[in-house]
């Protein structure tokens, strides 16, 4: 009783002491980055950042922070964001920086199991990249481009057989959904050797698309509210992390990948046939192979479909660009620079020779980057002195700094006063020095250096072929230009739906 009485008598003092410690801790954290401005309360609380994530618009918060507070801004007590291309390149090149656990651990899909995207140990990450790069590059899959062509042709056939409108009848098509079917079929085909068949069935086979979007939405909420660590906590984590036995979220995707990997293990091949065969050939096996197969499926399909949908949106809402691009396509066919009607899908090499098509793709990726993740990096323990716009700035150790996709790719300093305008000609008519800076910045859409996206070669294949063939064959128009789509940012990937269009055969 004496102890309780003593505590009771001094509880006010105890409360004051605890409150004082809390305030001191907040002030210490605040002072570490006090030289960097940011939205209100971001120096003391994670809530502004969390609230933006819950509203599916953290990429907009990052851009606004950089516009108002400069190329390095504060978005949380220990988190900075940068819109400087030079600084982001420096961060990705310099030893000592590493991926931030707070973000990348939240991007794990399976219980305590990393993949090439979520791995925060630099050495392990680089080793895994070396094992996977040959599979993504196509060097070990001689049929990669043909496989993509087959899926694109199925996509064209689906539209022609089921969704063609006429002067007397309009048949609405959600092109956002169909493009996602296409990219999931492509990545499953070149990844596992057998496509899911979504385009042929015109359905979300086994609800893979739905489960992926649910998983990303759940992960986004968990990260925003600060309890994503529970999924990887001892004991409890195993029970709340996604499992192949689940009927929703990432569970169905995990089950599909497990089946594909187990089937390949039961029927091994030495042929250079698909990504799975390449990964196995370079020493990835068992649970690690399952994890990498799952990551390539989710990230590969989502980002590329967003790139295609973004390009289509900007093309359809800019008649001048639409007409000019179709004219280049028609001229290429007439001049023998692209296959004629019924003679196959345009090749990657041919698509790269069409300057306006490439300019349209670059401009669309710039205005609507497919991945707007923060890609947070931890600074070296001793900090780092960097130069931004000619000014020397010290970044303290023990803090995180991330990527502001919109801030970087909508920059007036890099792209000019009309940086917010969709104008593909900027890639064709700028002076050499400015063009070099623009291209250098635009390349960061795919990451940089040891963190560059492994799937870039496949994405470029899909973008060029799909956009060319759609505009060669069809005329498309948005049904509701005032609300062209519904787009939500979940963990930096966009869930896009309700992009209703009317498609007519080109005469």
pLDDT digits (tens, 9 = 90+) for 160-173: 999 999 999 999 99
Give dist(CA 437, CA 406) in Å, integer.
Answer: 17
Confidence (pLDDT) at 143: 87
| Closest residue by Cα to residue 216 from 301, 113, 133, 286 | 301
Non-local CB neighbours of 296 within 8 Å, separated by 6+ positions: 187, 191, 275, 455
pLDDT: is 315 or 299 the higher one? 315
pLDDT average, residue stretch 39-65: 93
Domain count across the chain:
1
Is it the case that residue 24 has pLDDT exceeding 80? no
Reduced to 3 states, what is the DSSP secondary structure of residue 407? Answer: helix
Q: What is the dihedral of CA 14, 16, 18, 19, to 10 degrees?
A: 160
Residues annotated within the binding site for heme are: 453
Position 57 in a domain: no
Direct distance between the N- and C-terminal alpha carbons of the chain, in angstroms, rounded to an integer: 93
Position 269 in a domain: yes
Confidence (pLDDT) at 96: 94
Is it the case that residue 358 has pLDDT exceeding 70? yes
Q: What is the dihedral of CA 249, 252, 257, 259, to 10 degrees?
A: 160
Instruction: Give the pLDDT band of residue 433 (cuts 50, 70, 90).
Output: very high
Confidence (pLDDT) at 243: 84
pLDDT: is 256 or 381 the higher one? 381
Cβ-contact 220, 56 below 8 angstroms: yes
pLDDT: is 466 or 139 the higher one? 466
CATH number, position 113: 1.10.630.10
Position 173 in a domain: yes
Cβ-contact 92, 447 below 8 angstroms: yes
Confidence (pLDDT) at 301: 87
Give dist(CA 357, CA 329) in Å, integer.
Answer: 8
Range of the domain at 253: 76-505
Q: What is the dihedral of CA 40, 41, 46, 52, to 10 degrees?
A: -20
Q: What is the dihedral of CA 410, 412, 414, 418, to 10 degrees?
A: 80
Position 3 in a domain: no
Non-local CB neighbours of 161 within 8 Å, separated by 6+ positions: none
Position 51 in a domain: no
Helices 208-225 and 286-316, interaxial angle, to 10°? 100
Is it the case that residue 456 has pLDDT exceeding 90? yes
Confidence (pLDDT) at 299: 83
Confidence (pLDDT) at 22: 53
Give dist(CA 400, CA 255) in Å, integer.
Answer: 34
- Average pLDDT, whole number, for the chain? 91
Q: Is 431 exposed, middle or buried (0-12, 13-18, 19+ CB in 10 A)?
A: exposed
Position 41 in a domain: no
Question: Quick one: three-class SS letters along 111-128?
Answer: CCECCCCCCCCHHHHHHH
Q: Is 7 exposed, middle or buried (0-12, 13-18, 19+ CB in 10 A)?
A: exposed
Confidence (pLDDT) at 21: 63
Report the DSSP pairing between strands 98-99 and 377-378: antiparallel
Give dist(CA 116, CA 301) in Å, integer.
Answer: 16
318: how many CB neighbours lie within 10 A of its CB? 18
pLDDT average, residue stretch 340-366: 96
Is it the case that residue 6 has pLDDT exceeding 70? no
What is the per-residue burial (b if ≥16 Cβ within 10 Å, else e) of 144-170?
Answer: bbebbbbbbebbbebbeeebebeeeee
The CA–CA distances, whole Å, from 312 to 204, 422, 471 equal 22, 12, 9
Cβ-contact 504, 166 below 8 angstroms: yes
pLDDT average, residue stretch 312-317: 99
Residues annotated within the binding site are: 453
Non-local CB neighbours of 72 within 8 Å, separated by 6+ positions: 36, 80, 81, 82, 84, 87, 388, 393, 401
Confidence (pLDDT) at 82: 98
Confidence (pLDDT) at 323: 98
Distance of CA 91 to the CA centre of its chain: 19
Reduced to 3 states, what is the DSSP secondary structure of residue 134? Answer: helix
Position 37 in a domain: no
Confidence (pLDDT) at 272: 63
Instruction: Give the pLDDT band of residue 329 (cuts 50, 70, 90).
Output: very high
Give dist(CA 383, CA 396) in Å, integer.
Answer: 4
- pTM of the predicted protein model: 0.92
Length of the chain: 507
Cα 85-54-375 angle, rounded to 5 deg = 25
Q: Which of 155-164, 215-224, 249-258, 303-312 has the lowest mean pLDDT?
A: 249-258
Is it the case that residue 322 has pLDDT exceeding 90? yes
Q: What is the pLDDT of residues 290-301, one digit of tens each?
A: 899 888 888 888
Q: What is the pLDDT of residues 80-115, one digit of tens each?
A: 999 999 999 999 999 999 999 999 999 988 888 899
| Closest residue by Cα to residue 178 from 312, 294, 358, 293 | 312
Quote the percentage of the chain above a pLDDT of 70. 93
Reduced to 3 states, what is the DSSP secondary structure of residue 369? Answer: coil
Residue 328, phi then psi, degrees to nearest 5: -65, -40
Position 70 in a domain: no
Helix (H) or strand (E) holding 28: helix 11-32
Confidence (pLDDT) at 244: 85
């Amino acid at each position: 009783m004496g102890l309780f009485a003593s505590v009771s008598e001094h509880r006010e003092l105890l409360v004051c002491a605890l409150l004082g410690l809390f305030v001191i801790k907040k002030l210490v954290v605040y002072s570490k980055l006090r030289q960097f401005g940011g939205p209100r309360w971001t120096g003391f609380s994670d809530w502004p950042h969390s609230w933006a994530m819950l509203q599916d618009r953290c990429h907009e918060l990052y851009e606004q922070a950089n516009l108002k507070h400069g190329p390095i801004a504060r978005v949380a007590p220990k988190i900075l964001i940068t819109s400087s291309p030079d600084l982001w390149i420096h961060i990705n090149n310099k030893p000592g920086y590493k991926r931030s656990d707070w973000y990348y651990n939240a991007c794990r899909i399976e219980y305590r199991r990393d993949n090439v995207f979520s791995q925060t140990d630099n050495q392990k990450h680089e080793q895994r990249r070396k094992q996977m790069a040959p599979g993504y590059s196509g060097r070990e899959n001689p049929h990669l481009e043909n496989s993509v062509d087959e899926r694109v042709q199925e996509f064209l056939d689906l539209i022609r057989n089921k969704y063609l409108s006429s002067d007397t009848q309009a048949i609405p098509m959600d092109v956002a959904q169909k493009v996602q079917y296409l990219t999931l079929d492509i990545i499953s085909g070149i990844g596992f050797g057998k496509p899911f068949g979504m385009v042929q069935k015109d359905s979300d086979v086994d609800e893979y698309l739905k489960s992926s979007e649910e998983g990303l939405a759940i992960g986004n909420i968990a990260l925003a509210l600060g309890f994503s660590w529970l999924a990887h906590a001892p004991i409890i984590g195993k029970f709340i992390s996604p499992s192949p036995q689940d009927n929703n979220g990432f569970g169905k995707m995990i089950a599909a990948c497990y089946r594909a990997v187990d089937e390949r293990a039961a029927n091994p091949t030495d042929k250079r046939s698909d990504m799975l065969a390449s990964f196995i050939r370079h020493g990835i096996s068992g649970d690690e192979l399952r994890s990498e197969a799952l990551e390539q499926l989710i990230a590969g399909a989502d980002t590329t479909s967003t790139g295609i949908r973004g390009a289509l949106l900007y093309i359809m809402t800019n008649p001048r660009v639409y007409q000019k691009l179709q004219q280049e396509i028609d001229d290429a066919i007439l001049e023998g620079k692209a296959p004629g009607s019924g003679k196959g899908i345009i090749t990657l090499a041919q698509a790269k020779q069409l300057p306006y098509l490439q300019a349209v793709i670059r401009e669309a990726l710039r205005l609507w980057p497919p991945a707007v993740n923060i890609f947070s990096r931890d600074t070296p323990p001793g900090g780092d002195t960097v130069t931004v716009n000619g000014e020397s700035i010290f970044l303290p150790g023990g803090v995180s700094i991330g990527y502001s996709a919109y801030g970087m790719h909508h920059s007036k300093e890099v792209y000019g006063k009309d940086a917010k305008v969709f104008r593909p000609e900027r890639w064709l008519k700028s002076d050499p020095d400015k063009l070099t800076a623009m291209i250098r910045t635009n390349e960061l859409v795919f990451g940089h250096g040891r963190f560059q996206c492994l799937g870039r070669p496949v994405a470029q294949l899909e973008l060029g072929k799909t956009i060319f063939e759609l505009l060669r064959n069809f005329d498309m128009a948005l049904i509701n230009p005032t609300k062209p789509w519904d787009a939500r940012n979940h963990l930096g990937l966009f869930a896009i739906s309700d992009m209703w269009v009317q498609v007519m055969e080109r005469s």
